[in-house]
């Protein structure tokens, strides 16, 4: 990748290589603000909770650039030692064969191989790989986020491909393995993420809070009732730009759905001529010409970023004030808590290496059992969650 | 203003809406509407108001998105709640009706366009809707200059007002998932150009090969967009893209 072979600080700067990107892997950060008046989409992570959580685990700014991995199925190699964390969808990821938990920071040794499996039904749609120092591709108009439709940001404005070698920024001093957000404070919500595989038809409906408007007066009272009392299903024509929903037609007041184009926001729900709502997400255009019946509460947007085709969605109307309270509560939940620490209660010998087994500090969790994994290392199962050995303590087999 | 504002035919049963009006857009934005139709005076008011907000320097304001007839104000609800932001905007909006719009001569940008064929697959539908020949549609569309009311939808995408009502045409009922870069389209009484390939519901009548947007501008203070709000665009019919 000659693109990113600029002068680098050999002492500190690492790289991560894409072996397989899966269905789609994109560099995303907090988004590209400040150019919407020129039609530039904000883009950024669609599950901001997962992006923020991952970055906080590795000591980054919450909005630093990470890799958003659609459906998993991706593979990466750390070319130098790096601290990283996985958040968002469950992908059954492994580091050199050692199973990893989500929402835990790990230290990868040079040449360590990170493999993400495919997400199962009900396990979420997008995983996030945050690396201490952030992904350090060039900023375009103030952001590293990839907007594929306009070919801006990321690597040449495109999704990652096998062979891409991405520069990692200088890791913050605070970067360390063993940080963990447990279920009480993880701030990562995955629709239907309870244990086990489920069929799409068995997924629980995602209830999304909305503030009506700005053009709810373009719809008939009957249309508003239909919108708030029906169950809609996410179609496979959905992407980062928006979720196209199937379900009962929302009736407009005049039989028309066009308005003079005006600005849209993350979570604007527009209704085109076929009467079926479209929820606009991170890659949305800056303006649109369809009437907008409602706006999703910002705190509920990450849910939609994880809503796979087939997910049922219902809408509940709340006030602006309630929506702002939800957002404040979201900040307290995702941005304020300090991560817990994985401590080393004991170490074990595996293949003549001393390795430490982690357990979460200040938790009542106990060891269920310790499982031998491959010939490399061991993990502890605590309340059904695997906490692997901190990876810098052993040498890979290969 | 050089062109006549087209009649707003959308709100056939227009209720007595008082403008300007301030409405919430979720928990982090507010919309100030100055009218319901395409009108150069209303549009000038939008940009005047945006200038006032910028001058006020309220740290709660995150970003302004001006459009034809309204201004979206994105704000940080941690700094100002909805009541505070509404009050701030209400105070600023008073007296705005009396202030004059910009009187500066617009910059004229000429875009060569190949009309019809695979470059403009909807031109027959537009002609049929208008009860005109495709040649007449081309003549009418390229026969006037258009005010850039706003940039939106895609990087550098100019929304142009002043389209002759004879060739106004509704959007497609279901948008295309991919429109080629440079496509020139019509939606109601608006016309515009798609700078990049992407989804869109406008009726496509032609295509230009000119690059409208460069995100990698390096010159200090240079805009990434060829076209800016307030300038004027003219479409020049050409036979092929070869000489562009």
pLDDT of residue A197: 30
Query: What confidence category does residue A97 fall into, taking pLDDT thresholds of 50, 70 and 90?
Result: confident
Q: With beta carbons less than 8 A apart as the criterion, state whether B24 and B82 touch.
A: yes
Contact (Cβ atoms closer than 8 angstroms) between residue A390 and residue A347:
no
Q: Residue B85: which H helix or E strand, with range? A: helix B82-93
Is A258 among the domain residues? yes
Do B232 and B123 belong together in one domain?
Answer: yes
More confident residue, B60 or B94: B60
Same domain, B122 and B229: yes
Find, among A173, A198, A249, A5, the residue nearest to A90 by Cα: A198
CA distance B72 to A271: 19
Q: Which of residues 75-134 of B touch A (CB under 8 A)?
A: 77-78, 81-82
CATH number for position A322 = 2.40.100.10
Note whether residue B49 is domain-resident: yes
Which residues neighbour B237 within 8 Å (Cβ) at sequence distance 6 or greater? B112, B113, B114, B115, B138, B142, B206
Looking from the CA of A136 toward its CB, the CA atoms found within 13 Å total: 19
Three-state SS for B15-60 is CCCCCCEEEECCCCEEEEECCCCCCHHHHHHHHHHHHHHHHHCCCC
Q: Are residues B142 and B227 in the same domain?
A: yes
Q: Is the pLDDT of residue B99 over 90?
A: no
Where among B98, B131, B150 does a domain terminate?
B98
What are the φ/ψ torsions at residue A248 (nearest 5 degrees)? -60, 140
State residue A211's pLDDT score: 98
Contact assessment for residue B199 and residue B177, using Cβ atoms and an 8 Å cutoff: yes
- Residues of A within 8 A of B38 (CB-CB) are 260
pLDDT band for position B243 (50/70/90)? low
Q: How would residue A149 be classed by pLDDT, with cut points 50, 70 and 90?
A: confident
In a domain, A191, yes or no: no
Query: A352 pLDDT exceeds 90?
Result: no
Which of B17, B19, B24, B27 best tests the A interface by mutation, with the highest count of A CBs <10 A?
B27
Whether residue A265 and residue B25 make contact (CB cut-off 8 A), yes or no, is yes
CB contact under 8 A, A260 and B25: no
Contact B192/B151 with Cβ under 8 angstroms? no
Q: B 11-40 residues with CB below 8 A of A?
A: 11-13, 15, 23-29, 31, 36-38
Which comes out higher in pLDDT, residue A223 or A351? A223
* B69 and B156 share one domain: no
H or E segment to which residue A328 belongs: helix A320-334
Give the pLDDT confidence of B182-227 residue by residue, as tens digits. 999 999 888 999 988 888 899 999 999 998 888 988 766 678 998 9
What is the Rg, in whole angstroms, of the alpha carbon atoms belonging to chain B? 19
Average pLDDT over residues B70-74: 97
Q: CB neighbours (10 Å) of residue B3?
A: 15
B178 shares a domain with B141: yes
Prediction ipTM score: 0.83
Evaluate whether residue B9 is within a structural domain. no
For B97, counting Cβ atoms within 10 Å of its Cβ (0-12 exposed, 13-18 middle, 19+ buried), the class is exposed
Q: Has residue A176 been placed in a domain? A: yes
How many C-beta atoms lie closer than 10 Å to residue B62's C-beta?
A: 14
Closest-CA residue to A60 (of A2, A132, A12):
A132
- Peptide bond between residue B20 and the one before it cis (omega within 30 degrees of 0): yes
Determine the pLDDT at residue B15: 58
Q: Place A331 in a pLDDT band, splitting at 50, 70 and 90.
A: very high
The answer to whether residue B243 sits within a structural domain is no
Whether residue B235 lies within 8 A of chain A, CB to CB, comes out as no
DSSP B128-196: HHHTS-HHHHHHHHTTS-EEEEEE-SSTT-EEEE---GGG-BPPPSS-EEEE-TTEEEEEBTEEEE-SS
DSSP 3-state of B233: strand
Close Cβ partners of B146 (under 8 Å, ≥ 6 residues apart): B3, B160, B161, B162, B163, B191, B232, B233, B234
Which residues 191-210 of A are in CB contact (within 8 Å) with B? 210
Chain B CB contacts of A273 below 8 Å: 171, 173-174
Q: Are residues B89 and B112 in the same domain?
A: no
Whether A278 and A313 have beta carbons less than 8 Å apart is answered as no
Percent over 70 (pLDDT), chain B: 87
- Contacts of residue B228, Cβ cutoff 8 Å, sequence gap at least 6: B107, B148, B151
Q: Which residue has the higher pLDDT, A11 or A138?
A: A138
A119 shares its domain with A209: no
Q: In the predicted model, is pLDDT for residue A349 greater than 70? A: no
Residue B11 lies in a domain: no
Q: How close, in Å, is residue B52 to chain A by CA atoms?
A: 16
Is the Cα torsion angle A84, A86, A91, A92 positive or negative in sign? positive
How many domains does chain A fold into? 2
Model-level pTM? 0.82
B122 and B173 housed in the same domain: yes
User: A260 and A181 in one domain?
Assistant: no
Q: How many domains does the structure of chain B reveal?
A: 2
Same domain, A118 and A167: yes
State residue B227 phi and psi, 5-degree precision: -105, 135
Among A314, A334, A354, residue at a domain's last position = A334
In this prediction, residue B84 has a pLDDT band, given cuts at 50, 70 and 90, of very high
Chain B contact for A367 (CB, 8 A cutoff): no
pLDDT band, residue A343 (cuts 50/70/90): low
Residues of A in contact with B192 (CB under 8 A): none
Could you list the residue range(s) of the whole structural domain that residue B189 is in? 108-237
Residues making up chain A, counted from first to last: 398
B154 and B188 share one domain: yes
The reply to whether A329 touches chain B by the CB within 8 Å rule is no
Quote the pLDDT of residue B188.
86
Q: Is A294 within 8 Å of A210 (Cβ atoms)?
A: yes
Q: Say whether pLDDT at A5 is over 50.
A: no
- Put simply, the answer to whether A323 touches B27 (Cβ < 8 Å) is yes
Q: What percent of chain B has pLDDT over 90?
A: 62
- Going by pLDDT thresholds of 50, 70 and 90, the confidence category of residue B106 is confident
A38 lies in which domain range?
2-185+340-393
B70 and A259 in contact (C-beta within 8 Å)? no
Contacts of B197 in chain A (CB under 8 A): 149
DSSP secondary structure code for residue A252 in this structure:
B
For chain B, say whether A43 makes contact (Cβ under 8 Å): no
Residues A130, A132, A138: CA angle, nearest 5 degrees: 80
In this structure, are strands B158-161 and B190-193 parallel, antiparallel, or unpaired? antiparallel
Beta-bridge mates of residue A279:
A243, A269
Q: What is the pLDDT of residue A12?
A: 54
Looking at the structure, tell me whether residues A168 and A242 fall in a common domain: no
Q: Please check whether residue B244 lies inside any domain of the structure.
A: no
Torsion of CA B52, B53, B59, B61, to 10 degrees: -170
CATH number at residue B76: 3.30.1360.40
Share of chain A above pLDDT 90, in %: 62
Per-residue pLDDT, averaged over B73-95, amounts to: 94
According to the model, what pLDDT value does residue B16 have? Answer: 67
Distance of alpha carbon A99 from alpha carbon A89, whole angstroms: 15
Q: Are B159 and B66 in contact (CB under 8 A)?
A: no
B86 → chain A, closest CA residue: A320
Contacts of residues A93-96 at CB distance under 8 Å and 24 or more positions apart, as own/partner, are A93/A117, A93/A127, A95/A388, A95/A391, A96/A376, A96/A391, A96/A396, A96/A397, A96/A398
On whether both B203 and B169 belong to a single domain, the answer is yes
Report yes or no on A192 lying in a domain.
Answer: no
Last residue of a domain, one of A316, A334, A352: A334
Alpha-carbon distance of B80 to A273, in angstroms, equals: 36
Between A42-56, A155-169, A189-203, the lowest mean confidence (pLDDT) is in A189-203
B225 touching chain A per CB within 8 A? yes
Does residue B16 belong to any structural domain of this protein? Answer: no
Q: What is the CATH number of the domain that holds B214?
A: 2.40.100.10
């Amino acid at each position: 990748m000659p693109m990113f072979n600029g002068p680098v600080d050999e002492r500190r700067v690492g790289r991560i290589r894409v072996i397989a990107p899966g269905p789609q892997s994109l560099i995303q950060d907090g988004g590209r603000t400040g150019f919407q008046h020129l039609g530039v989409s904000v883009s950024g992570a669609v599950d901001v909770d997962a992006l923020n959580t991952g970055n906080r685990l590795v000591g980054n700014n919450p909005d630093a650039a990470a890799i958003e991995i659609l459906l998993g199925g991706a593979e990466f190699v750390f070319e130098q030692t790096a601290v990283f964390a996985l958040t968002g969808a469950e992908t059954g990821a492994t580091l050199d064969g050692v199973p990893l938990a989500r929402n835990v920071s790990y230290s990868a040794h040079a040449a360590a191989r990170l493999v993400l499996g495919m997400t199962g039904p009900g396990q979420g749609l997008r995983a996030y790989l945050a690396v201490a120092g952030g992904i350090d591709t060039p900023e375009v108009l103030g952001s590293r986020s990839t907007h594929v439709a306009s070919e801006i940001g990321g690597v040449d404005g495109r999704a990652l491909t096998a062979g891409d070698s991405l520069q990692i920024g200088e890791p913050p001093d605070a970067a360390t393995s063993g940080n963990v957000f447990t279920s009480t404070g993880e701030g990562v919500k995955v629709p239907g993420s309870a244990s086990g595989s489920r069929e799409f038809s068995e997924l629980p409906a995602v209830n999304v809070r909305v503030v009506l408007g700005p053009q709810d007066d373009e719809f008939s009272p009957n249309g508003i009732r239909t919108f708030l009392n029906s169950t809609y299903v996410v179609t496979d024509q959905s992407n980062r730009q928006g979720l196209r929903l199937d379900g009962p037609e929302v009736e407009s007041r005049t039989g028309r759905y066009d308005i003079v184009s005006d600005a849209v926001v993350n979570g604007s729900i527009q209704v085109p001529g076929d009467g079926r709502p479209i929820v606009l997400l991170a890659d949305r255009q800056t303006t649109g010409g369809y009437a907008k019946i409602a706006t999703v509460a910002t705190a509920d947007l990450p849910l939609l970023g994880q809503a796979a085709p087939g997910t049922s969605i219902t809408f509940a109307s709340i006030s602006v004030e309630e929506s702002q309270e939800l957002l404040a509560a979201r900040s307290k939940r995702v941005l304020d808590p300090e991560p817990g620490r994985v401590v080393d209660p004991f170490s074990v010998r595996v293949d003549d290496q001393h390795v430490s087994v982690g357990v979460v500090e200040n938790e009542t969790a106990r060891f269920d059992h310790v499982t031998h994994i491959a010939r490399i290392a061991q993990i502890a199962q605590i309340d059904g969650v695997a906490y692997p050995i901190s990876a810098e303590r052993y040498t890979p087999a290969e | 203003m050089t062109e006549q504002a087209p009649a707003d035919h959308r709100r056939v049963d227009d209720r007595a809406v008082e403008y300007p009006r301030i409405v919430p857009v979720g928990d982090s934005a507010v919309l100030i509407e100055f009218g319901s139709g395409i009108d150069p005076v209303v549009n000038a008011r939008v940009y005047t108001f945006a200038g006032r907000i910028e001058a006020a320097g309220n740290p709660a304001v995150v970003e302004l998105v001006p459009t034809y007839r309204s201004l979206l104000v994105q704000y940080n609800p941690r700094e100002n709640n909805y009541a505070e932001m509404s009050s701030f905007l209400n105070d600023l909006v008073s007296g705005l009706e009396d202030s004059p719009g910009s009187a500066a001569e617009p910059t004229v940008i000429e875009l060569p366009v190949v009309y019809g064929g695979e470059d403009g697959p909807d031109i027959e539908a537009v002609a049929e809707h208008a009860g005109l020949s495709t040649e007449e549609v081309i003549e009418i569309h390229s026969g006037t200059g258009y005010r850039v009311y706003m940039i939106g939808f895609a990087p550098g995408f100019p929304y142009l007002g002043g389209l002759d009502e004879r060739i106004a045409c509704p959007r497609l009922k279901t948008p295309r998932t991919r429109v080629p870069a440079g496509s020139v389209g019509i939606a109601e009484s608006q016309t515009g150009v798609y700078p990049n390939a992407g989804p869109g519901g406008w009726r496509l009548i032609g295509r230009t090969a000119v690059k409208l947007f460069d995100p990698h501008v390096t010159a200090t203070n240079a805009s990434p967009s060829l076209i800016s709000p307030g300038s004027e665009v003219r479409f020049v019919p050409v036979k092929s893209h070869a000489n562009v």
